[in-house]
Structure 1
């Protein structure tokens, strides 16, 4: 093994770089809370709301979710490309990333409340007129959501050049995601359980209850966004790569699109999001239709799922450091596959009484480990080419959103027999389990070469094959295809 001279940084650079203060880490982490609250409602309750409350058919509800996912998928590379530009747009003096974050926040706040509400002055209109009404708000909302997501993610490699701190920021970001989901489920459980009764099921009379959940969540998101914009400074205040070297490190889009590693990492990220999002979408319908559980269970089980996710998220940084990204990811996949098999084989009162709670913890742990690790792999891919970072995240998110939308509408369209109570059980088993396996295979395909640094991290080669983002020497070695780190 030989130490690459490209990774030996100057003393001047080492002196400029400082570990990120805790205040900045926390302020960064809350910057995605508004998105997280809305995403929790979107993936967990959109189909429930449109199908059970507004009485749209399975296909119509799935179609509106698909419209949102396509709008998000198209928006992500667009936002990513323009977020990377250093043009003269006057507001960009506020910061390229934070400008798009602000624009997205405004779009989300002005449209999301209309999605989880009856059609204003058109409840008696034709279904397709109502669908068009909702799709307008959904499209603007998803553009805003994508703007916040991509700008927030692309700040990670800009705020710090150190892989350890990047993983920590990703873990903190995900911890706040989990907390946001927990808040949504606690609020939803309280409103549905207290106001509807312990034995009631979701129906057309629950529209106002969903509005209460939405406005409570948005209030939390507004406060969090204000904290983010006040305390997070973008323009290299913490010793980013561009400040130290005085140059703009950018990879041409053509080179990105011709890089095999980009597509390998995209499959990892897409598969991860498929598992996380599809379990979030179909667990409530599985509880309602297959297990015939009460309305409060539709909030309680996802709540338990995200408690497991939150507890696991606090260990991910150490897990990645101790076992490497590959083994950590595969460990998460094994938990997810175990949960899917259990869903398939479990039955009767024991499943509803206590087994479903263990399954929820396993699903949450799998989602937490695989999602944070896949984001770490993406940050490794970007390396110090931060001026192309947003576009890379845009590519990842494009595949994720499109795949999720297509998957949901196909699953909903195939569910034509209302007497088939096992449909969502099989969906969780085969579709979600298959997504987890695909992610594991994609991670294994990345074994061509990794960089192993002094902290024990395994870093994907970036798309220029040069990464001087660490402040410590990095050893490069060939790794044979093996599950052992």
Structure 2
């Protein structure tokens, strides 16, 4: 009997540390594509659409962006807490993470198309009425986006306890993020370039073009979410319930008094801030400061995410060789170098050539620090501090 127990434990841990198959990595990675394409439109073109297409003022446009970020900040801990209460939520047999992913997907698909479209029935109303209209859909969208993001990220330590597999899942996740962004920018460039010409600039007449982009990327994201829900099974996934039961759930009080939590949160916050700010302000920087054509608002961000895509394919190996700290430092140095170049860059050569090198640096640096910070986060969730 004792031999049987030891054999069972040995089999459990052998199964526990088995490497995940490639098809599971890919199926997991596409589960965040809908969020990725929407985030690409949100961070890259929200200010452009509301300011240049809908003629909202600077502060009105910034206020709507702020509404979205505040809604995201409030929804994230709410979803994170309740997605972990598997005994208190109906339909938990479907998966405590996957059910929130499904709820978030429905919210995103239901609200996002209304954000990048003229106010239905209120285009001539006062701007305050229009801002209220858009704020409702922005809040619903941000709640859904947070639900998808948190549930998808929290699946990583449940799919595998292996540190290298978690890094690979994170890298694959970010790789699909980059691919999603590239597709958004390619579609946007095709629509703006073919319809507007080489030297045209963004204006109110471009509203239908943005709607075409939105519906195209939402169709792609919906298909990827469907594949994710079909292929990813949350229950067990080769991990024994006996082994799972050996890990005690951390209380909220212990979590909030853990210094490591705040260190990891600060690293992720600054990394996400760097990536988001480059996405948000690069289009306006190109349009307002460098006076570049409308097509460049897709071509330069596309170049940035090509750099991210190439870098993301090597991040796991870099992490394996250098460790997370050195890898993160390398990414931070690359990102700071790009910021310094933007600060002092000027002239025809800079606009025509060097801006694309800057975009590559932004993409590579952002890719490295974001994937590394996500790796640190999943290590913390998985209990490897």
Residue 304 of structure 2 corresponds to 305
Work out whether residues 16 and 244 of structure 1, in 8 Å CA contact, stay in contact via their aligned partners in 2. Answer: no
CA distance in 1, matches of 2:168, 2:296: 33
**1:223 maps onto 2:246 in alignment:** no
CA distance in 2, matches of 1:383, 1:29: 19
Residue 336 of structure 2 corresponds to 337
Residue 327 of structure 1 corresponds to 326
Q: What TM-score comes out, normalization by structure 1 length? A: 0.76
Q: 2:98 aligns to what SS in structure 1?
A: helix
CA distance in 1, matches of 2:244, 2:265: 29
Cα offsets for 1:444-478 (capped at 9, x unmatched): xxxxxxxxxxxxxxx6x2xxxxxxxxxxxxxxxxx
CA distance in 1, matches of 2:15, 2:196: 58
Cα offsets for 1:73-119 (capped at 9, x unmatched): 10000000000112243311100000000000000000000000000
Q: 2:155 aligns to what SS in structure 1?
A: helix
- Aligned CA RMSD, in angstroms, stands at 1.3
Work out whether residues 167 and 376 of structure 1, in 8 Å CA contact, stay in contact via their aligned partners in 2. Answer: yes
Residue 4 of structure 2 corresponds to none
Residue 193 of structure 1 corresponds to 193
Residue 292 of structure 1 corresponds to 291
Q: 2:237 aligns to what SS in structure 1?
A: coil
Residue 253 of structure 1 corresponds to 252
Task: Return the offset for 1:379.
Answer: 1.1
CA distance in 1, matches of 2:324, 2:277: 23
CA distance in 2, matches of 1:383, 1:149: 17
Cα offsets for 1:268-300 (capped at 9, x unmatched): 000001100000000000000110000000000
Q: 1:291 to 1:247 in 2, by over 3 A?
A: same
**1:72 maps onto 2:72 in alignment:** yes
Task: Return the offset for 1:243.
Answer: 4.9
Work out whether residues 113 and 211 of structure 1, in 8 Å CA contact, stay in contact via their aligned partners in 2. Answer: yes
Residue 119 of structure 1 corresponds to 119
CA distance in 1, matches of 2:284, 2:266: 27
1:40-55 equivalences in 2 (<5 Å): 40-55=40-55
CA distance in 2, matches of 1:86, 1:283: 41
CA distance in 1, matches of 2:81, 2:164: 27
**1:103 maps onto 2:103 in alignment:** yes
Residue 3 of structure 2 corresponds to none
CA distance in 2, matches of 1:32, 1:255: 30
1:259-278 equivalences in 2 (<5 Å): 259-278=258-277
Residue 356 of structure 1 corresponds to 355
CA distance in 2, matches of 1:118, 1:364: 32
Residue 369 of structure 2 corresponds to 370
Work out whether residues 301 and 357 of structure 1, in 8 Å CA contact, stay in contact via their aligned partners in 2. Answer: yes
Cα offsets for 1:121-169 (capped at 9, x unmatched): 1000000000000000000000000000000000000000100100000
Greater length-normalized contact order (CA 8 Å, ≥ 6 residues apart): 1
CA distance in 2, matches of 1:162, 1:149: 21
Where does structure 2 lack aligned partners over 5 or more consecutive residues?
Answer: 1-7
Task: Return the offset for 1:368.
Answer: 0.4
Residue 58 of structure 1 corresponds to 58
Q: 1:288 to 1:252 in 2, by over 3 A?
A: same
Residue 152 of structure 1 corresponds to 152
Work out whether residues 100 and 151 of structure 1, in 8 Å CA contact, stay in contact via their aligned partners in 2. Answer: yes
CA distance in 2, matches of 1:284, 1:218: 21
Residue 467 of structure 1 corresponds to none
Q: 1:288 to 1:245 in 2, by over 3 A?
A: closer
CA distance in 2, matches of 1:246, 1:42: 40
1:375-454 equivalences in 2 (<5 Å): 375-384=374-383
CA distance in 2, matches of 1:135, 1:22: 40
Residue 163 of structure 1 corresponds to 163
1:31-42 equivalences in 2 (<5 Å): 31-42=31-42
Task: Return the offset for 1:13.
Answer: 2.8
More helix by share: 2
**Number of residues of Structure 1 aligned to a counterpart in Structure 2:** 377
After superposing the two structures, state which structure 1 stretch, 121-130 or 342-351, moved more. Answer: 342-351
Residue 433 of structure 1 corresponds to none
